[in-house]
Structure 1
């Protein structure tokens, strides 16, 4: 079985939590497919891009360099599917082969949770709040820098969660 050691996309290494690389056989031809469980940050970064320059390092030392198409796989965990056509099957002899009529698909998600992924790469999201506060608190909030407010709210929310968990 061929094992992926690392993946570089457009010159930048990405953190992969699990992967599967294989040859997909369909009536339209052969494609090299790479399924990756990645972070939500990686999904956000690559979801609008159609083609990427990908460098795949295999555990046995082989390198694959290719321009690959991108699909975001929907469902549970954040997953990328990278694929490209191949002509010479000779260099991929030891890769698993999947036929379009087969029911085989690896379960990459088994044993990994979104919490595990977020421990490595936690995405940040912008949020807007509408609050009704006393004027002195509003004035104080307006004087603060965005970075300080982010830190205050993160700490406040985490402390609140911790207290809620202790009450249960």
Structure 2
């Protein structure tokens, strides 16, 4: 079985939590498939691209360079599905081959949790709050720098979450 050691997208190394690389056989031909469990930050970064320049280092030392089509798989853990058509299967003889009619596909989510992924790379999200406060508090908030407010809210929310064992 072929194992992925590292992956670079457009020259940038990404953290992979699990992966599967295999040959997919369909009625239209053969394709090289690379399924990756990555962080939510990585999915967000590459979701807008249809094609990516990939460098895949395998555990046996081989390096595969290819332009691959990208799909974001919904649900479950954050995943990228990358694929490219293959004309010559000779250099991929030791890769697992899966037919479109097979009922088995690699389960790369097994044994990984979203909490583990977020320990490595926590995504940031913008949030807007609508509050009704006394005018003196509103004036004080408006006078603060955004970075100070973000730090303050992070600390307050983290303290509350610790108290609630979240």
TM-score (normalizing by structure 2): 0.97
Q: Is 2:7 aligned against 1:3? A: no
Question: Moved runs in structure 1, 4+ residues, more than 3 A?
Answer: none
Aligned-pair CA distance for 1:164: 2.0
Q: Please, which runs of 5 or more residues in structure 2 have no aligned partner?
A: none
Matching of residues 23-34 of structure 1 within 5 Å: 23-34=23-34
Please give the alpha-carbon distance, in whole angstroms, between the structure 2 residues aligned to 1:26 and 1:83: 13
The aligned residue for residue 146 of structure 2 is 146
Matching of residues 24-63 of structure 1 within 5 Å: 24-63=24-63
Please give the alpha-carbon distance, in whole angstroms, between the structure 2 residues aligned to 1:139 and 1:164: 31
Matching of residues 1-168 of structure 1 within 5 Å: 1-165=1-165
| SS of residue paired to 2:130 | coil
| SS of residue paired to 2:108 | coil
Please give the alpha-carbon distance, in whole angstroms, between the structure 2 residues aligned to 1:127 and 1:73: 25
Aligned-pair CA distance for 1:161: 1.1
Please give the alpha-carbon distance, in whole angstroms, between the structure 2 residues aligned to 1:24 and 1:165: 45
| SS of residue paired to 1:165 | coil
Aligned-pair CA distance for 1:61: 0.5
Please give the alpha-carbon distance, in whole angstroms, between the structure 2 residues aligned to 1:134 and 1:47: 42
Aligned-pair CA distance for 1:165: 2.6
Size of the aligned set, in residue pairs, is 166
Aligned-pair CA distance for 1:130: 0.4
Q: Please, which runs of 5 or more residues in structure 1 have no aligned partner?
A: none
